[in-house]
Amino acid sequence: MPEPKRLFFALELPDDVQQQIIHWRAANFPPDCGRPIAAANLHLTLAFLGEVSAEKQRALAAMAGRIRQPGFTLDLNDAGQWLRSQVVWLGPRQPPRGVLQLANMLRSQAARSGCYQSPQPFHPHITLLRNTAHAVPIPAPGFSWQVPVSSFALFSSEYARGRTRYTRLERWALNE
């Protein structure tokens, strides 16, 4: 019987946007202020699923395949820090309705399938730095990346040899 996998639904970022964000982060945050997330791991989590069996993964994937929703554009124009979770993040100042609807659908389906969902309200964000033990200066407004979103994906998270690696398992298109 296969081992359960640690899974989540997320939005991917185009490679060029990942690289631009990495350069912006390097220019705006000192190297000692936290552990930077690798460019390939930058994503926006829609629903964290936790440890999931192969059977439950198939059911969640089938549910995701039934979602019918138009694509949208994400404007990454805000940043902040959550001191309690020691995270510096990047996200939209005004989240588009599309990302909120998609996350709500995925989170409610996940909950109905027995995957614990945090009671915290959904705050769309991309984690830039972890383990930020102290407050760090956040860059002034004026940065922005427009990301057209035409799909979402299911990822697995694996930790091996001191590194976390995210692997896309499936992807679903949003309606045009």
Q: Indicate which residues carry an active-site annotation.
A: 43, 125
Residue 126 structure tokens: 């991309």
| Beta carbons of 7 and 132 less than 8 angstroms apart | no
| Beta carbons of 21 and 43 less than 8 angstroms apart | no
Q: 22 exposed, middle or buried (CB, 10 Å; 0-12, 13-18, 19+)?
A: middle
Cα–Cα distance, 101 to 88 (Å, whole number): 24
Look-up: residue for tokens 């820090």?
81
Length of the chain: 176
Measured CA distances, 27 to 20, 30, 72, 124, 143 (Å): 11, 8, 29, 23, 12
